[in-house]
Amino acid sequence: MQFEKTKLDGVVIITPDVFGDNRGFFMESWSQRKMEEAGLFYNFVQDNHSLSSKKGVLRGIHFQKGYKSQAKLVRCVRGAVLDVAVDLRHESPTYKQWVAVELSAENKKQLMIPRGFGHGFVTLTDEVEFLYKADNYYAPEADGGIRWNDPEIGVEWGINNPILSAKDEKNPFLSELGEVF
């Protein structure tokens, strides 16, 4: 596995070593030993899997608050997404900054997103399957979100009219939330 740091402390792009032949391929998608050798110490307790049927579906920007916040290791196993992590740590020097990475079944890249970050993605193809490991259980009472097009954050999604859930349509702007982390 190759580990590439981003401009946001703790957000890491992981590219697995893929071994292919005429039968297909093999790769390690998770290795605690290799993660720890790269300085990434996580104990994942929950795996999640989503399907987005249409190109242009935008999910996010999501987070969980407080001690129920989650670190996530995300990847796309079918289709392609533009995956985004937003630094929501109020005292961070990169507060409100974001990184975007294309994750696809083809490139097999993963993104490690620590606690204190918002997360979202937009589908670049139809029929997208997205997997993520979380280091804390889902907690509805800690669930939070920020408007996908918040000008204070300014994520460049590459889309003007995404397909949103009713919940994501109503997400507040960051300025309406105050300090999240």
Which residues carry out catalysis? 62, 132
Q: Which residues lie closer than 8 Å to 63 by C-beta, 6 or more apart?
A: 69, 70, 88, 117, 118, 119, 144, 145, 146, 180, 181
Q: Which residues lie closer than 8 Å to 148 by C-beta, 6 or more apart?
A: 58, 60, 61, 120, 155, 157, 162, 164, 168, 171
Residue 31 CB: number of other CB atoms within 10 A? Answer: 13
Structure token digits, residue 20: 């292919």
Contact (Cβ atoms closer than 8 angstroms) between residue 110 and residue 35 = no
Burial group, residue 83, by CB count within 10 angstroms (0-12, 13-18, 19+)? buried
